[in-house]
Amino acid sequence: MTVQGNVLGFPILSLIAYLPLMGAVLLLFVGRERIQVIRNLAFVSSLASFAVSLLVPLYFDRSTAAVQFVERASWIPTIGVTYFFGLDGISLWLVMLTTFLSPLAVLCSYEAIKHRAKEYYIFLLILETGMLGVFVSLDFFLFYVFWEVMLVPMYFLIGVWGSDRRLYSAIKFFLYTLFGSVVMLLGILAVYFYAGTQTGRHTFDVLELMRVAYPHTPVINALGVSLSFQDLVWLAFGLSFAIKVPMFPFHTWLPDAHTDAPTAGSVILAGVLLKMGTYGFLRFNLPMFPEASRHFVPLVFVLSIIAIIYGAMVCMVQPDMKRLIAYSSVSHMGFVMLGMFAFNAQGVQGSLLQMINHGLSTGGLFLIVGLIYDRRHTRLISELGGLSRQMPIYATLFAIIMFSSMGLPGLNGFIGEFLILIGVFQVRWWWGAFAVTGIILGAAYMLWLYQRTMFGEITNDKNKSLPDLDARELATLLPIIAFCFWIGLYPAPFLKAMEVSVANVIQTVERGAAGKAVGAKQAAAAGPTRGVPGDQASGQSGDQATGPTQGVPGNPAIGRSGALRGYPLIGQPGNSEPLVAQLPKRRVPRFSGAEAGR
């Protein structure tokens, strides 16, 4: 990964990240009794960040995987810490998603939050700054600071403005995330010190650390499982990110946090915070530890498929609308992880696009639940029914967002899931077959939810006088619906911006240590690289003398990255051949039986 510079000539990423923080500081000087001023100032601060962020996709160079809009300055030189902001095709749309959803989260809180409104909006704006900092930080020290900054305001949003079991849910969220953060810190320090010994210079610069090849020869052998230094560090990072996704079985904090958080907290939690986990895997685990990433493919696939099916089945029995949508996130994020670890263009692009799709559709669903909760002060499905008669506009918008979440063709969810399934079927068709059952179950629980709440007779007198949506409430939902249709009908601009960056990640994983600039020989000194598990002949991932394994990288029918030959999704400008197909051919050494057993 290289650095291109900043074409705008001013620190736009810092401006985007810190505008909400500036708004939070201004709120400190506003009297708490001036609630309308507090609301409007918070909304304007968040909206200003979104307005400035619109310059980023306009000036973003889609022909390169280089980091763009770079801001770099020495911060703590004695330990190698720099203030380093930048983004590429992987982080571009996540930054835009954050700046897009945050003003909507502020707007949806206007009538819902009346208690300690000043403190509420201050925490919401600080949270936005923390999330944006995570996506644009390219120094591990800076990244970790923003990762922890994000944790504190969300804890207070749930604990102070949440519902019945808010303290339990807030503490559970905090402890889960904090545990993962501490383990990730150990991984960061391990990488920091190892890379320092290889380069002679200690630094937290992510791009510098990505140039180092980390050892992938076994250092621990316990209970028949061999783990290398690279495996151990991968697990340290992976545990933190798996908790945040959340992957099964680290998901138990999510339903409680979603259920008890205020509406804006649930929107931000589902729309952005969960994406920090998947972003972490794609940004750090895959390119920094390619051999370990290939080593853990079966584990990730199994856990992802369990999450897809388990999350969907649990949704079927939920009596609470909000809890049902929370468990649907477990299922949807399983798809994201599944596509990412397919290690081909379609799978990884679908995974990245599905992060955006999930943020829009599930964020919209939490807004839908929040709107009915503001009117009825209940989320129980049994207390609702026949609402389409009383609230036709609400029912119509609910239906559109529901179909988006289900993956109906013409809406955004279909594009992401379709690409993921193409990528997964190329690797192992039965993994794709298991994943498809999650789509079927997803349609079942969403349609059943809609039927029980929107159709039928109004049997509860409290539902007979509910007002339909007003202008402010429409303003929170219509922008989300507009993007759902845009991505569903014309996803090309979104896919084009991530093509080359995704190709770069796939290329890095395929080359492994051999593609690293520093320490490649030392990393592989004690033996050959382990490939993607699944090759019965030798455990390799490259072409075999006995023929390639169907569906893994190296199959000539598919291409070296698993991408369909000639598939136009991932070409360099002016070159119709897939970028990953241009990689130099390499022969992976054959394992002996003992080595393959490891």
pLDDT single digits (tens) 426-451: 988 888 899 999 999 999 999 999 99
Q: How far apart are CA 209 and CA 221, in angstroms?
A: 27
Over range 265-284, report the average pLDDT. 93
% of the chain at pLDDT higher than 90: 65
- The answer to whether 38 and 112 have CB atoms below 8 angstroms apart is no
What is the pLDDT at residue 217? 85
What is the pLDDT at residue 566? 32
Q: How far apart are CA 502 and CA 578, in angstroms?
A: 12
Q: What is the DSSP string of 44-75?
A: HHHHHHHHHHTHHHHH--TT--SEEEEEEEEE
Q: How far apart are CA 329 and CA 349, in angstroms?
A: 19
User: Which two three-digit tokens encode residue 566?
Assistant: 């000639």
What is the pLDDT at residue 219? 83
Q: How far apart are CA 226 and CA 277, in angstroms?
A: 26
Instruction: Tell me the C-alpha to C-alpha distance, in Å, between residue 364 and each of 58, 237, 534.
Output: 26, 30, 40
pLDDT higher than 60, residue 576: no
- The answer to whether 132 and 80 have CB atoms below 8 angstroms apart is no
What is the pLDDT at residue 522? 59
Q: How far apart are CA 8 and CA 142, in angstroms?
A: 23
Q: pLDDT band at 113, cuts 50/70/90?
A: confident
- The answer to whether 160 and 173 have CB atoms below 8 angstroms apart is no
What is the pLDDT at residue 583? 37
- The answer to whether 342 and 304 have CB atoms below 8 angstroms apart is no
Q: Tokens 């708004």, residue?
A: 23
Instruction: Report the number of secondary-structure helices (H) and strands (E) in the chain.
Output: 25, 5
Q: How far apart are CA 107 and CA 363, in angstroms?
A: 13
Here the contacts of 548-551 (C-beta below 8 Å, separation 24 or greater) are 551/425, 551/426, 551/427, 551/428, 551/429
Over range 349-378, report the average pLDDT. 93
Q: Where in 143-222 does DSSP place strands (E)?
A: 218-222
Q: How far apart are CA 379 and CA 499, in angstroms?
A: 41
pLDDT-wise least confident of 123-132, 410-419, 462-471, 522-531:
522-531
pLDDT digits (tens, 9 = 90+) for 482-519: 999 999 999 999 999 999 999 999 998 888 766 666 66
Q: How far apart are CA 337 and CA 388, in angstroms?
A: 36
- The amino acid sitting at 592 is S
Q: How far apart are CA 35 and CA 121, in angstroms?
A: 10
What is the pLDDT at residue 515? 60
| Residue 193 burial by Cβ neighbours in a 10 Å radius (0-12, 13-18, 19+) | exposed
pLDDT digits (tens, 9 = 90+) for 59-87: 999 988 899 999 999 999 999 999 999 99
- As a whole number of angstroms, the longest Cα–Cα distance in the chain is 77
CB atoms within 10 A of CB 204: 26
Q: Tokens 């998603």, residue?
A: 97
Instruction: Tell me the C-alpha to C-alpha distance, in Å, between residue 72 and each of 65, 94, 182, 280, 434.
Output: 18, 21, 26, 21, 45
Mean pLDDT, the chain, as a whole number?
84
pLDDT digits (tens, 9 = 90+) for 206-235: 999 998 888 888 888 877 788 889 999 999
What is residue 275's three-state secondary structure?
Answer: helix
Length of the chain: 598
What is the pLDDT at residue 90? 93
Q: Where in 40-114 does DSSP place strands (E)?
A: 67-76, 81-87
Q: How far apart are CA 432 and CA 307, in angstroms?
A: 14
Give the strand order in the sheet containing 67-76: 3-5, 67-76, 81-87
pLDDT digits (tens, 9 = 90+) for 26-65: 999 998 888 999 999 999 999 999 999 999 999 999 988 8
Over range 118-135, report the average pLDDT. 95
User: Which two three-digit tokens encode residue 373?
Assistant: 């909760």
User: Which two three-digit tokens encode residue 330?
Assistant: 């477990």
- The answer to whether 442 and 406 have CB atoms below 8 angstroms apart is yes
pLDDT higher than 50, residue 574: no
Q: Tokens 């991505």, residue?
A: 487
Q: pLDDT band at 365, cuts 50/70/90?
A: very high
Instruction: Tell me the C-alpha to C-alpha distance, in Å, between residue 436 and each of 152, 167, 542.
Output: 37, 37, 28
pLDDT digits (tens, 9 = 90+) for 380-429: 998 888 898 889 999 999 999 999 999 899 999 999 999 999 999 998 88
Instruction: Tell me the C-alpha to C-alpha distance, in Å, between residue 239 and each of 186, 232, 264, 508.
Output: 11, 11, 27, 22
Q: Indicate if the alpha-carbon torsion angle 282, 287, 292, 298 is positive or negative.
A: positive
CA 378 to mean position of chain CA atoms: 30
Helices 471-489 and 345-376, axial angle in degrees (round to 10): 160
Residue 85 backbone phi and psi in degrees, to 5 = -110, 145
Q: How far apart are CA 562 and CA 349, in angstroms?
A: 13
- The answer to whether 349 and 90 have CB atoms below 8 angstroms apart is no
Q: Indicate if the alpha-carbon torsion angle 7, 9, 11, 12 is positive or negative.
A: negative
pLDDT higher than 60, residue 361: yes
Q: pLDDT band at 524, cuts 50/70/90?
A: low
pLDDT digits (tens, 9 = 90+) for 529-566: 444 443 333 333 333 333 333 333 333 333 333 333 33
β-strand pairing of 3-5 with 67-76:
parallel
What is the pLDDT at residue 221? 81
Q: How far apart are CA 96 and CA 284, in angstroms?
A: 20
% of the chain at pLDDT higher than 70: 85
DSSP label of 466: -
- The answer to whether 227 and 220 have CB atoms below 8 angstroms apart is yes
Over range 145-165, report the average pLDDT. 91
Of residues 109 and 546, more confidently modeled: 109
Q: How far apart are CA 183 and CA 71, in angstroms?
A: 28
Q: pLDDT band at 6, cuts 50/70/90?
A: confident
- The answer to whether 90 and 498 have CB atoms below 8 angstroms apart is yes
CA 265 to mean position of chain CA atoms: 17
Of residues 158 and 566, more confidently modeled: 158
What is the pLDDT at residue 513? 63
Q: pLDDT band at 22, cuts 50/70/90?
A: very high
Q: How far apart are CA 485 and CA 139, in angstroms?
A: 36
What is the pLDDT at residue 523? 59
The domain segmentation of the chain, as residue ranges, is: 302-489, 548-583
